[in-house]
Amino acid sequence: MGNQGGITVQRALELPGLRSGLPEVMAGADRLSRTVRWVHAGEVPNIASLLKGGELLLTTGLGLGTRPAEQRAFVRRLADRGIAALVVELGPRFSRLPASIVDAARAAGLPLVQLHREVPFVTVTEEIHTEIVNGHYALLRQAEDVHRRCTEALLGGGGVPQVLGILADFTANPVFLETADGQLLYAAGTGAASADPLQIWDGMRGGREARATPPAGAVLVDVPGGGPGSGSVRARLVLLAVSGPLVTVHRMAAERAAGILAVVLMQARQEEELAARGRGDFLTDLAEGRITPEDAPAQARVLGFRPGEAPLLPVVMRLAPELSPSGNWALLARAVLEELSSVGVPVLLGVRPVEGRVPLLLGLRSGTERTAVADRVAAALRAGVERAGLERAGSYPPVVVVGVAGSWAAAGAGLRHAAETATAAQGLGDRPWYDARRLDIDLLLWRLRDHPDLAAFVDRAIGPLREHDRTARPPLLPTLESYLAHAGRKAETARELHLNRQTLYNRLARIGELLGTDLDDPQTVLALSLALRARRHIP
């Protein structure tokens, strides 16, 4: 990784202290971009043993030796130590640097500078050190600015995607959050025109070997977990050098972002929830058309979903509005996946806590097993809800809607249709699952819920019955609902309501009287059925 914000040899030569010495570069002119970590002045022959690397060494040459062999060895030792540059002040020891020193510096690739005028080394040291400190301070300010923006994003209601997006924009490179064992949780690119970060991940970090050995130039920063001083790693930030090199300030910003992400991960409870949310984001993007059918299979593979050529079955579960986003969504995702482990088909499950929604895609072995798989999935979803404590007395039961199996081209529309239908089906009778195709009328009525004509229609059709049930007993709307649900079969209606036939006949006659309609008329029955289904969506 390159350094940034410090001081290069070139910059040091431009400062007043060294510039006043009339510096002349004798070797390594192509390496003046080296970073100067510190400045050291000395005149002893073994000075290389006192250095750590990255220093700019100031000397008058007294320790370089008198014989060419000593001088060459002196330069080689400095080069081996990794110093940034050797600066020799001409004067009593040398009027001009000997060829042995210049040749050795050229051979070793070490920048060598001679000063034609005497300069106070203490002034040079102070100037360069001040520049280095100022450079580090500038880096800190940039990293702290990223930290501030990330914090503001979280306070504004954002989460992991927003933090990663800020870091990706700052580094101009894709950023990823993975579990401690290398499973992808979230990805962020650098804008609409950039390459898809999930495809980059699949190519550069997709295999086991790639995870063990990070790509060249990558930055990995651990996200701590488990409390102060525990030393445990909850997740890991991965910055890949795709659009440009990653430098020191990028690592500094990533380290500060990692501290913020540690808090977010603790709030999210577990990596399972983050992974489930990431899968939920993918499924939602697919449903909303933000991911094309052509790109979807590759992105799904990154998330562990490999259905092959099998038909894809969209399923959506929706919880009661008052339950979201509370509850242990990580436990829900884990419980459902455990329940589905015996189904024997590929499953991609995500969660959307804000909407109280659990979208899924399943790969079917054949189109004929749709009903059997739907039964197992619905049972697993409901079991997961119970295990996660996402049920509450008095609230609507979870609604599970199963769409139509199809290809990737149909999967997005199928998920969107199932999600909307699950919302429209809230408050219907408690069934294990609903077929999305059989709820299109409910979906249409739900979409018209704010239109005044729908309320007017319901009032005209069943208004007298609603008014009756507010004050009189027994209520008649349940009788009408049961009668219409059984297609006018009185014997079945009576059995469901636990009524004798005469009582049922009396109630039906009373309903017809209040509404002024004939319950045997097909048009009347259709209008009443629609009104009963629409009344759930209006005040």
- Residue-wise pLDDT tens digits, 162-175: 899 899 999 888 99
In a domain, 41, yes or no: yes
Q: How do residues 184-212 score in pLDDT, each as one tens digit?
A: 888 888 765 456 777 777 776 554 444 55
Looking at the structure of the chain, the number of domains it has is 4
pLDDT band at 26 (very low <50, low <70, confident <90, very high): very high
Q: Which of 104-108, 389-393, 440-444 holds the top average pLDDT? A: 104-108
Report the mean per-residue pLDDT for the chain.
Answer: 85
Residue-level pLDDT at 268: 57
* Domain identity same for 428 and 525: no
Rounded Cα gap, residues 323 and 392, in angstroms: 8
- Helix (H), strand (E) at residue 337: helix 329-340
Instruction: Examine residue 230 and state whether it is found in any structural domain, yes or no.
Output: yes
Residue 230 has a pLDDT of 47
Following DSSP, what letter does each residue of 6-19 receive, concatenated?
SEEHHHHHHSHHHH
Please compute the mean of the pLDDT values over residues 259-270 and round it to a whole number.
74
pLDDT at 267: 66
227 with 281, same domain? no
Same domain for 239 and 321: no
Whether residues 407 and 338 fall in one domain:
yes
Joined together, the tokens standing for residue 411 give: 């999967």
Q: What is the pLDDT of residues 238-253, one digit of tens each?
A: 998 888 888 888 888 8
In terms of pLDDT, which residue wins out, 419 or 389? 419
pLDDT-wise least confident of 158-162, 308-312, 503-507: 158-162
Say whether both 233 and 327 belong to one domain.
Answer: no
- Predicted confidence at residue 226, as pLDDT, reads 57
Q: Decide which of 222, 247, 267 is a domain's last residue.
A: 267
Q: Looking at the DSSP assignment, which residues form a beta bridge with residue 186?
A: 177
Q: Is the peptide bond before 293 cis (omega within 30 degrees of 0)?
A: no
Q: For the domain that residue 87 is a member of, what is the CATH number?
A: 3.40.1390.20
Same domain, 193 and 337: no
Q: What kind and span of H or E run contains 142?
A: helix 121-155
What CATH number is given to the structural domain containing 499? 1.10.10.2840
Instruction: Give the residue numbers spanning the domain of 427.
Output: 274-447
Whether 252 and 283 share a structural domain:
no
11 assigned to some structural domain: yes
Per-residue pLDDT reduced to its tens digit, 392-440: 655 678 899 999 999 999 999 999 999 999 888 877 777 889 999 888 8
Query: Which of 397, 419, 447 finishes a domain?
Result: 447
Tokens representing 112 are 């060598």
Same domain, 397 and 439: yes
Among the listed residues 277, 256, 328, 250, the one whose alpha carbon sits nearest the alpha carbon of residue 160: 277
Among all chains, which residue has been given the structure tokens 């015996």?
342
pLDDT band, residue 228 (cuts 50/70/90):
very low
pLDDT for res 252 = 87
Predicted local confidence at residue 433, as pLDDT: 92
Residues 330 and 462 in one domain: no
Tokens of 403: 């769409």
Q: Is 85 left (phi over 0), alpha (psi -120 to 50) or beta?
A: beta
Percent of the chain with pLDDT over 90: 31
Residue 148 falls inside a structural domain: no
Task: Give 513's Cβ-side CA count (13 Å radius).
Answer: 8
- The residue ranking higher by pLDDT, 58 or 342, is 58
270 vs 149, higher pLDDT = 149
pLDDT band of 57, cuts 50, 70, 90? very high
Residue 1 lies in a domain: no
* Cis-peptide, bond into residue 228, ω within 30° of zero: no
Flag whether 49 is in a domain: yes
Q: At what angle do helices 271-287 and 329-340 cross, to 10 degrees?
A: 80
Q: Are residues 287 and 254 in the same domain?
A: no
Of 447, 463, 483, the one marking the end of a domain is 447
| Residue 212: predicted pLDDT | 54
Lookup result for tokens 């609507």: 396
Q: For 471-493, what is each residue's pLDDT tens digit? A: 888 999 999 989 888 888 989 98
CA–CA separation, 401 vs 280, rounded Å? 16
pLDDT of residue 72: 94
Lowest average pLDDT, out of 111-125, 254-268, 479-493, goes to 254-268
CATH number of the domain enclosing 412: 3.30.70
Task: Centre a 10 Å sphere on the Cβ of residue 358 and count the other Cβ atoms it contains.
Answer: 29
Whether 134 is covered by a domain: the verdict is no
Confidence class of residue 368 from pLDDT cuts 50, 70 and 90?
low
Query: Picking from 117-121, 314-318, 353-357, 392-396, which range would have the lowest pLDDT averaged per residue?
Result: 392-396
As a whole number, mean pLDDT of residues 328-341 equals: 79
Domain identity same for 434 and 299: yes
Asked if the model's pLDDT at residue 2 lies above 50, the reply is no
Indicate whether 358 and 281 sit together in one domain: yes
Task: Tell me the three state secondary structure of residue 413.
Answer: helix
Q: What is the predicted pLDDT for the residue at 210?
A: 44
- Across the range 317-345, mean pLDDT stands at 74
Residue 142 lies in a domain: no
Mean pLDDT of 132-145: 82
Residues facing residue 134 across a β-bridge: none
The pLDDT assigned to 22 comes to 95
pLDDT at 62 over 50: yes
pLDDT value of residue 393: 54
